[in-house]
Chains A and B, each alone.
Chain A
Amino acid sequence: MFRRNAFTAWHRTGAYTILIPVERRHGEVLNNTLVLKGSGPLLWQALESPCSLDDLVELLVAEYEVTSEVARADVRHFLDRLVEWQAVEFFSVS
């Protein structure tokens, strides 16, 4: 399962969501700032509660009428990036 890292500052503005994970410290704060667009803000919104990869794929399929293969590739790319940036964390449910 995936969820937001609670220590991420963020703000939604129009079609964009801007994130600053405070645990990421690569020089200037601007270097640690990520601007989400397209389906990113929707996925970030969904991650307010824990979600599985399949939950997020379903969300994109329903919202954007894309195939589940396309949605899965997008979600994987999104999660890989946000986990790397420490804005999202993976946890296992026992």
Chain B
Amino acid sequence: MADITIVGFGPGTWGKLTIEVRDVLLAAERIVMRDPVSWEVARELERRGKHIVSLSSLYLLGLDGGDLYPLMADFVCRTAQRYGPVVYALPGNPMVFETTNTLVRLRARELGLSCFTMEGMSCLDTLFVCHNIDPGFGLQILSFNTFTDQTRIMPEVAALIFQVGAPASCLSSVEPESSNLERLRGYLLEAGYPARMPVYLLKPGPHGQISVECRLGHLEQLEEHLIPIATLYVPPLWMAPDV
């Protein structure tokens, strides 16, 4: 067994765990999850006698991902150094839009720890089915964390924008002028999407993937549903309702 096994537990429900990942979790001595233990997968593991350390409370530090995720990665690695093999469980597929997976692997290498990654069902799989998306017709995948003035989006093609709830660092001396959703709305309107365009906020939740719909013009209404790892799905322009 590797010092650190990184597994993806899919959308958060027990039924959508792969059998391989389920077996690893059930055999684990130590499980660290980035997310809350209120999720079905975690509750089921606890019901079966597994103790889980959740890192989700660290989001309350108000750090941005650039500072928070290296801290989480170091915690996972130091735990493995101190106590022996650790399973680090992440939602979805750890290789899909998951910064801490990469950081854990890099940190483990620096500390001389072995690391193995095991795939799970990605949020993309759920999304394709929920929204009838066949990526064969084109799909843009963007990260809000890396948005710049030079980022270009093609309204004719379906788009997924990840990390739309990524917090600005509370330790930064620069106050953001507007919220993430305000910035995103302005950006998408400028790109040519109509205000009536339906958009969908997607996030993992205690009982699986959650999708919340609203109109682009009222994107701020999604604020209450926002979490750091939320994704915004913007359908292609040809799916916009007639104005």
Interface of A is mostly: mixed
Whether A22 lies near B61 (C-beta < 8 A) is no
Q: Which residues on the B side are within 8 Å of A13 (C-beta)?
A: 63, 67, 169, 171
Q: How far is the CB of B42 from chain A (nearest CB, A)?
A: 14
Q: A8: CB under 8 A from chain B?
A: yes
Whether B71 lies near A6 (C-beta < 8 A) is no
Task: Given A9-B74, A22-B75, decide whether A29 and B55 contact each other with a Cβ distance below 8 A.
Answer: yes
B69 and chain A: residue at smallest CB distance: A11
Q: B53: CB under 8 A from chain A?
A: yes
Instruction: Fill in one digit per residue for B19-60: 1 if any A CB lies within 8 Å of its CB, else 0.
Output: 000000000000000000000000000000000011101101
Instruction: Fill in one digit per residue for A52-87: 1 if any B CB lies within 8 Å of its CB, else 0.
Output: 000000000000000000000000000000000000
Whether A8 lies near B78 (C-beta < 8 A) is yes
Q: Which residues on the B side are within 8 Å of A10 (C-beta)?
A: 71, 74
Whether A29 lies near B75 (C-beta < 8 A) is yes
Whether B71 lies near A30 (C-beta < 8 A) is no
Out of B54, B75, B173, name the residue touching A20 (CB < 8 Å). Answer: B75
Q: How far is the CA of A35 from the CA of B236 in the complex (A)?
A: 45
Instruction: Fill in one digit per residue for B84-115: 1 if any A CB lies within 8 Å of its CB, else 0.
Output: 00000000000000000000000000000000
Q: How far is the CA of A10 from the CA of B73 in the complex (A)?
A: 10
Q: Which residues on the A side are within 8 Å of B209 (C-beta)?
A: none
Whether B57 lies near A22 (C-beta < 8 A) is no
Q: B70: CB under 8 A from chain A?
A: yes
Q: How far is the CA of A19 from the CA of B58 in the complex (A)?
A: 11
Q: B81: CB under 8 A from chain A?
A: yes
17 contacts between A and B (CB under 8 A): A7-B78, A7-B81, A9-B71, A9-B77, A9-B79, A11-B71, A13-B169, A14-B172, A15-B171, A20-B71, A20-B75, A22-B78, A22-B79, A22-B82, A28-B54, A29-B57, A31-B57
Q: Which residues of B contact A (CB under 8 A)?
A: 53-55, 57-58, 60-61, 63, 67, 70-71, 74-75, 77-79, 81-83, 169, 171-173
A-B contact sample (6 more), CB < 8 A, given A22-B75, A28-B57, A29-B58: A9-B71, A13-B63, A13-B67, A13-B171, A20-B74, A29-B75
